[in-house]
């Protein structure tokens, strides 16, 4: 159970790093985000 939680925490951390390094003012970044989500 705790290994699942560890994986989840690491996954969230990676997502946070992805979003924090994102330039939300850029349309190219916005389309990249949409592509990432799909």
**Joined tokens for residue 9:** 């925490």
> What local confidence, expressed as pLDDT, does residue 25 receive?
61
Question: Model pTM?
Answer: 0.30
> What local confidence, expressed as pLDDT, does residue 24 receive?
60
- How far apart CA 3 and CA 28 sit, in angstroms, is 36
> What local confidence, expressed as pLDDT, does residue 4 receive?
66
> What local confidence, expressed as pLDDT, does residue 20 receive?
67
Check residue 29 and give left, alpha or beta (phi > 0: left; psi -120 to 50: alpha).
alpha
**Joined tokens for residue 7:** 């994986």
Spatial contact of 33 and 22, defined as CB atoms under 8 Å apart: yes
> 10-38, pLDDT tens digit by residue?
777 777 777 766 656 666 677 777 787 76
> What local confidence, expressed as pLDDT, does residue 1 receive?
57
**Joined tokens for residue 32:** 């990249």
- Tell me how far CA of residue 14 lies from CA of 10, 18, 24, in angstroms: 6, 6, 17
> What local confidence, expressed as pLDDT, does residue 26 receive?
64
Domain range annotation of the chain? 2-37
């Amino acid at each position: 159970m705790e290994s699942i939680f560890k994986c989840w925490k690491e996954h969230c951390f990676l997502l946070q790093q992805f979003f924090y390094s994102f330039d939300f003012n850029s349309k190219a970044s916005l389309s990249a985000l949409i592509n990432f989500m799909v």
